[in-house]
Copies of this chain bind each other. A is one copy, B any other.
């Protein structure tokens, strides 16, 4: 590896390699979290702390915009640590000439999404770079939350746990792709970008035994399940026939040669849960706005460690690998 490639930002194998080589390799190693949020304990309080840069193109797409994404994405990353999201910081890099009314639409959208998620945007920063040094606007949001249940982590998945997926996959990636290419205008595909506090906090309050939570964003469900299997040294088997994919999304993926299991979602959660609590959890999730199409899609197995397999509708089994290659640049 000598130069950054688009694949280094795609959420798959190359990004994992870059993180291992450059970031884990050069920062004080033990400190860098393998989960989406780090846990910082201060004054006896366990805090979740997470950051994400948003560079999506176009800025507006059916179902959302970069502002909604920036808030929902960071809220969801806090939730993966079983934390109650509390506060956000929002840092803007603006290209000279960017229209201020557009910036106001984005800050409105951020505020609405923050209100929906019950968090406050408490601090921020603004940098402006000359025309051509950045493309319109990039937003980095960083979140702070209070961990409600310690130990929820990709590393905590156990054999026999059930895998719940809170809804259909691929909506966000397909919506952004179509918007970018001006394809299929008027198609029913809209991004799922949404904060999932409602679902996750309900589960934690109900006391169901959640072991791992992760939102399948870049690299899609495939990357998320591979990360969890790798961290927990388990295998995961999912049932192809149980994974919801909207027909329009399936058609777009088919046409573009994409596997919907590798396409980004921005309003979904993968929930790894003790088998005895899975049905109760599913019922709770389905009663929430963004969880009505939730399903149990598979199960954690003892091994082989790190392996993810899909049982097809024909009863055969295929390996679901960590995605690699460019996938979809600037999807979030």
Contacts and interface: CB of A to CB of B under 8 A. Distances in A.
A330 B128 CA distance: 8
Centre residue among A6, A22, A101, A128 by max chain B CB count within 10 A: A128
A124 B31 CA distance: 11
Contacts of A25: 104, 107
A56 to B, nearest CB: 9
Contacts of A54: 127
A330 B130 contact: yes
A89 B4 CA distance: 21
Question: Size class of A's contact patch?
Answer: 35 or more
A11 to B, nearest CB: 10
Interface in A132-175: 132-135, 138, 140, 142, 144, 146
Contacts of A10: 128
Given A2-B99, A89-B142, A129-B329, A51 B124 contact: yes
Contacts of A111: 26-28
Contact of A93 (B32, B107, B138): B138
A142 B91 contact: yes
A38 interface: yes
A205 to B, nearest CB: 17
A248 B129 CA distance: 28
A191 interface: no
B42 A86 contact: yes
Contacts of A234: none
Contacts of A7: 128
A91 B126 contact: no
Given A126-B19, A128-B6, A26 B142 contact: no
Given A26-B104, A28-B121, 8 more contacts: A4-B97, A31-B121, A43-B45, A53-B125, A91-B140, A93-B93, A127-B330, A129-B329
